[in-house]
Structure 1
Amino acid sequence: MMISQISVTFGSQAILEQIMYKYPERNLALFSAAGNAHGMQLVDYSGLDSIFTSPVVYRVNAHAGTDDWTHYIDYIEVNPGKEQRQVLDAQVSNFMSNPATPKGLTGVYYLTAANNSDSRILLTLWNDHYDCLQWEDGTQNAFIAYDNFKNDLGADYHEVGYQRFQPKA
């Protein structure tokens, strides 16, 4: 059964680990920002209502692959205009149904922000950061590449990746 939502919150390692220990029955994964980004992110992929005080909630529109949240995740968020959104939706559907997945890709979620139904977020799950970088440099991601949206000032293109962080027991 596909989950209907993913919730995310941000904060310090100590605060996010407290939440993890308080809710051991939830599917929670702690991530540290990769690259030049800073901060920690706690992802609740249980599909249940958010337990976070200040959550960012995403509705799951489609899912492919497995739920392997153990390594690296990458978000590409864009707010395309209506026509471009329809094209993007079709292209993402084609990508998600293509059996020839990029090396290291374990799962894909296609999301919308709960507070903005025009947003589109491609959340990809990877074996490692390098595999994601290889995909971004290749042609398989052309449908969601920045170049498609750079002339649309309202698109607000944003990409960020996170490395799984294992708290000390």
Structure 2
Amino acid sequence: MLKKISSTFGSWPVLKQIEKNNPNRQFITLSNTSIHNDFQLLDVSGQDPVFANPLNYFVKFHHGNYVWNGFYRFAFMTLSEEEIKVLNAKVAQLASRNQMPMGLNDFFVLQPEKRPNERVLLTTWQLDSDYAIWRRSASYEPFKIYSDSGAYNYHDANYTAYRLHSLPS
């Protein structure tokens, strides 16, 4: 069971050098879907980070099969202790259903290491269209308040797993 995910941002050559220098780690290189040449490197080994300035996240909840390809949706929010309990209940209810949303690979609730009242909902999908369909479904309704109300310091980012063979050298 994965307990920690670390992240860093940088140029393609810098992130590839980090990977080359740490062959024993499991890294996922992500490309921002809206900003050209904006890359993020995730270390999903669960070990202490090797990055100079890591963003470390504790995995508070996970449901899925650790499928590290496809479309990534990061949703960031700041919550009170009570609101965290409510979010946890919503996540548990979604996970307890017999059928998760179509195309959903993994659903994580992450806590930034240095910000205990923040949560990141990280969902990974087979396709970005699978995520778009879920956003219009009844199972997404309990989560809509976080993005729509303006009360939770909500922001999000979309990435795709970058494949080495599709990049210029």
Partner of 1:66: 65
Partner of 1:159: 156
Partner of 2:134: helix, strand, or coil?
Answer: helix
The one-letter code sitting in structure 2 at the alignment partner of 1:144 is F
What is the CA-CA distance between 1:147 and the residue it aligns to? 5.5
Aligned residues: 166
Partner of 1:143: 142
What is the CA-CA distance between 1:93 and the residue it aligns to? 1.4
In 2, Cα distance between equivalents of 1:139 and 1:117: 29
What is the CA-CA distance between 1:143 and the residue it aligns to? 2.1
Aligned identity (percent) is 28
Unaligned runs of 5+ in 1: none
Write out per-residue CA displacement over residues 81-104 of structure 1, whole angstroms, 9 at most, x where no aligned residue.
Answer: 232222111111111232211110
In 1, Cα distance between equivalents of 2:98 and 2:117: 28
In 1, Cα distance between equivalents of 2:121 and 2:24: 26
* Shift in alpha-carbon separation, 1:70–1:148, aligned structure 2, 3 A: closer
RMSD of Structure 2 on Structure 1 (CA): 1.9
* Shift in alpha-carbon separation, 1:37–1:118, aligned structure 2, 3 A: farther
Larger deviation, residues 19-28 vs 53-62: 19-28
In 2, Cα distance between equivalents of 1:144 and 1:60: 19
In 1, Cα distance between equivalents of 2:6 and 2:98: 28
In 2, Cα distance between equivalents of 1:145 and 1:72: 19
Write the mapping of 1:71-86 to structure 2, written as runs, cut at 5 A: 71-86=70-85
Q: Does residue 1:89 correspond to 2:93, yes or no?
A: no
Q: Does residue 1:134 correspond to 2:124, yes or no?
A: no
Partner of 1:47: 46
| TM-score, length-scaled by structure 1 | 0.90
Unaligned runs of 5+ in 2: none
Partner of 2:27: 28
